[in-house]
Structure 1
Amino acid sequence: MTNPAPLHPRSGTVKTASGPTTILAYRDCPYNCSGAELINMATAANYAGPYARIHPAKPIFSEASEVPFIWADKYGNFHMLVHLFLPDAGFGDGPNVGRHAYARSWSGPWTFNKDTVACNTTFDFDDSPAIGKYRRERPNIFFSEDGEMRPLFLSTGLQEMDSPSSYSLIPPIGAGQ
């Protein structure tokens, strides 16, 4: 269990019968990581835990993926960005690395959209040609604080071809940011 992504109770969006709850989406490697890397979720009364899996016997969706980022929109719907492992994604296998999942409730059922790319490994800059990266993962969105939940920036980790090093890039989302 690695790559935790917490969602703290906020404005009553994350509740259980016992009250507000902290949600933790994470990469779950069944069978000592010899199988697919899958996303699961756990809950706790507060951020310090202890945490309990909400689906102990299975992941929330079957697509092999990692490094989730979870949020609730202003309407109370839940969303997740993940780094997907498919032949055209994964580690250097192709540009289509980011996918989106969504649910009306944090406990699911979750719908995984593997057909639409949420982010890829190509970056366009104002002052230079577009460049491609070997790997892009760990998506995080920064939202406006005005109650509208407008996405402002997408932070991701990047790795160049033939390099063991990685770094973060934080591009704006949308026009005029």
Structure 2
Amino acid sequence: MSQAATYSVQTVLKDGTPIQIRALRASDEADMLAAIARTGPQSLQSRFFVLKRHFSEKERAYFMDVDFSNHVALAALAEEQGRYAIIGGGRYVVVEPDRAEMAFIVVDAWQGRGVGSLLLRHLTDIARAQGVRELTAEVLSDNTPMRSVFAKAGFRPGRSEDPRTVRLSLSLGSARPA
């Protein structure tokens, strides 16, 4: 099993709020669905490119069936009303050898506080350690906050096949880990 499957770190947001970033677990499904329910329609459209409120059994299985090799997913958790709850998540899926596509979502109440940037940094570190050489993301052109998160991490814009989106990419180098 990959080290990513047991990944867990305590960190803090830019305002000092403590959060945990850890590997998504099968037992997180209900909490993940609760986080989606606390996420507004515009945020969901920014993530899924369509207005999405409900997920089929097949979609839920896909999101939860993470092998931590070709599909790596992290959850960000913070204390809310006396218990830890998922406030965001990020994942990458290997789409061809050495290249993976990333995606993120952050609950509206937690946006703009650095959750997405922290998830991106930790996923990038895992990808690099696992030999991924390039990370890509498709972002809606008008999703300025997420485009800014990717730009600060060094992602560069490229050509997208969909005129509504911007394709962003980050080279992680060519050396595979020993």
Between structure 1 and structure 2, the one with the greater Rg is: 1
Which structure dedicates a bigger proportion of its chain to helix?
2
- State TM-score, norm by structure 1: 0.30
Structure with the bigger RCO (C-alpha within 8 Å, sep 6+) is 2
Which has a greater percent of strand?
1
